[in-house]
């Protein structure tokens, strides 16, 4: 082994040890508290001062559970879910198909590149007269249109003339206008905050995500890995990944970074 390769190996081992040491301490951190350098390794951002009283302490005699929580901690406790997520992600070795698998994370499965590309292609940037957001091309009961947040497109008038821009893997940039005169279904921001709007024409090369009300949802639990495909701040399409913190139907809390302009983005588990 060359000296350069040996130095790199020692550096990676040092970073891995620091990360494992940080995870073993009773200090809460979120994915956005992680900073990354040029190497494909991440460290928790340094914190000043001791841990806060808000962080639960493991009691003497209690055996931690497999996901990093004390045995008597609530299943939806967000801090321990976060620690468990990053512990799984950085574990040196893991057998495929186990809860610590680097390929999947907890509660997730390996998906094909074709499925990944198809799902990401279906995510669009929405540009209207006075705002920018995101949406997902879906098919529901035979209707094909854009699903987004109602606060992005609050009325048919706001959707009229809005443009959906798709950055696809095979077709490049594809655009289509919205056609709310065909249909516009919505739930207010104080309720479910969604809008389902027709497209003037189906964007070529983009496969809509089929939503079947008869099919039970895959579901996600605390600590499961989810990802958000988004056009943050109206920019190029990107993906942010993180753990589910809490599930309280019909809502779900997650620890994934988003920015202004990301509203309307889909939250995927296994790209479903």
- Which domains does the chain possess? 3-90 (no CATH), 115-211 (2.40.10.10), 220-268 (2.40.10.10)
Higher pLDDT, 228 or 216: 228
Statement: residue 50 has pLDDT above 50: no
Q: Token digits for 101?
A: 């698998």
Whole-number pLDDT of residue 6: 64
- 236 CA to centre of own chain: 16
Give the C-alpha separation, 119 to 237, whole Å. Answer: 12
Mean pLDDT of 172-197: 95
DSSP assignment letter at 31: G
Q: How many residues does the chain have?
A: 272
The pTM (predicted TM-score) of the whole model is 0.60
Q: From the CA atom positions of the chain, what is the Rg in Å?
A: 21
The predicted pLDDT at position 261 comes to: 80
C-alpha 33/C-alpha 81 separation (Å) is 15
Q: Which has the higher per-residue pLDDT, 53 or 166?
A: 166
Q: Looking at 57-71, 134-148, 152-166, 193-207, which range is the least confident one?
A: 57-71
Token representation of residue 143: 């209707």
The arithmetic mean of pLDDT across residues 129-153, rounded, is 93
Tell me, what's the pLDDT at 83?
A: 52
Confidence of residue 44 (pLDDT cuts 50, 70, 90): very low
70 has pLDDT over 60: no
CB within 8 Å of 176: residues ≥ 6 apart = 163, 164, 166, 199, 200, 201, 202, 203
Residue 3: band (very low, low, confident or very high) from pLDDT cuts 50, 70, 90: low
Which stretch of 63-72, 180-189, 197-206 has the lowest confidence by average pLDDT? 63-72
Residue-averaged pLDDT of the chain: 72
Which structure tokens are listed for 170?
């095979």
Q: How many C-beta neighbours within 10 Å does residue 51 have?
A: 12
End-to-end CA distance of the chain: 44
β-pair type (143-148, 184-187): unpaired
Mean pLDDT of 210-230: 82
Q: How confident is the model at residue 16 (pLDDT cuts 50, 70, 90)?
A: low
| CA-angle at 171, arms to 166 and 174, nearest 5° | 30
Q: Percentage of the chain surpassing pLDDT 70?
A: 60
Look at residue 232 in the predicted model and tell me its pLDDT. Answer: 86
The least confident of 58-72, 217-231, 246-260 is 58-72
- Please state, in angstroms and as integers, the Cα–Cα distance from residue 190 to each residue in 134, 146, 153, following that order: 19, 20, 14
Given a cut of 70, whether residue 38 has pLDDT beyond it is: no
Distance between CA atoms of 205 and 164, rounded to whole angstroms?
Answer: 14
Q: Residue 271: pLDDT band by 50, 70, 90 thresholds?
A: confident
Mean pLDDT of 196-206: 94
């Amino acid at each position: 082994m060359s000296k350069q390769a040996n130095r790199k190996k020692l550096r990676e081992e040092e970073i891995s040890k620091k990360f494992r040491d940080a995870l073993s301490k009773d200090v809460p951190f979120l994915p956005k508290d992680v900073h990354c350098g040029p190497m494909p390794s991440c460290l928790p951002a340094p914190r000043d001062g001791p841990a806060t009283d808000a962080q639960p302490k493991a009691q003497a005699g209690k055996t931690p559970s497999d996901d990093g929580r004390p045995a008597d901690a609530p299943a939806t406790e967000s801090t321990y879910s976060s620690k468990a997520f990053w512990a799984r992600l950085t574990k040196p070795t893991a057998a495929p198909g186990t809860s610590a698998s680097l390929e999947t994370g907890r509660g997730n499965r390996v998906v094909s590149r074709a499925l990944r590309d198809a799902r990401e292609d279906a995510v669009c940037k929405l540009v209207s007269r006075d705002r920018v957001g995101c949406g997902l091309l879906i098919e529901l009961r035979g209707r094909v249109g854009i699903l987004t947040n109602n606060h992005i497109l609050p009325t048919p008038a706001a959707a009229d003339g809005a443009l959906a821009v798709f950055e696809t893997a095979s077709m490049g940039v594809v655009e289509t206008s919205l056609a709310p005169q065909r249909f516009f279904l919505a739930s207010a921001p104080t309720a479910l905050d969604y809008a389902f709007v027709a497209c003037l024409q189906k964007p070529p090369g983009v496969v809509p995500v089929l939503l079947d009300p008869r099919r039970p949802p895959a579901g996600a639990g605390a600590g499961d890995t989810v990802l958000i495909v988004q056009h943050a701040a109206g920019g190029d399409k990107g993906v942010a990944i993180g753990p589910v913190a809490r599930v309280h139907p019909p809502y779900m809390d997650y620890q994934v970074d988003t920015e202004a302009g990301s509203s309307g983005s889909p939250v995927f588990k296994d790209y479903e």
